[in-house]
Structure 1
Amino acid sequence: MSKAITTVFAVALATVALSSCGNTIRGMGQDTANTVNATQDAGNRVGNAAAR
């Protein structure tokens, strides 16, 4: 019985750990996309200022 409880606990712990990684990776992707968008916007503003 003790081995079954240990196995269930290990599976639950692994599930929580892996779901945390998924959220972190998703957040990093969003941060990267926001950085790219901000860089492009800044480049557009510089280009528009230079064209005037």
Structure 2
Amino acid sequence: MRKLVILALAATSLLAAACNTIEGAGKDVKAAGTAVEKTAKDAK
């Protein structure tokens, strides 16, 4: 039973870290898209 609790805690920690990583990646992609959009507007 103790091993199961430890395994569940480890899995929860990994999932939480993955969510933060995906959120950060999404922000980076959004920032890059905004930069491209601004450059395109400036080129007009």
* Fold conserved between structures, TM > 0.5: yes
Q: Which runs of 5+ in 1 are unaligned?
A: 47-52
Q: Deviations over 1:1-52 (max 9, x none)?
A: xx21111110000011111111100000000000001000000010xxxxxx
Matched, 1:30 2:31: no
- Between the aligned partners of 1:9 and 1:31, the Cα distance in structure 2 is 33
Q: Which residue of 2 aligns with 1:17?
A: 15
Following TM superposition, the consecutive aligned residue runs of length 4 or more in structure 1 with deviations greater than 4 angstroms are none
RMSD: 0.6
**Amino acid of the residue matched to residue 8 of structure 1?**
I
Tell me the TM-score normalised to structure 1 length. 0.79
Q: Which runs of 5+ in 2 are unaligned?
A: none
Q: Percent identical across equivalent pairs?
A: 11
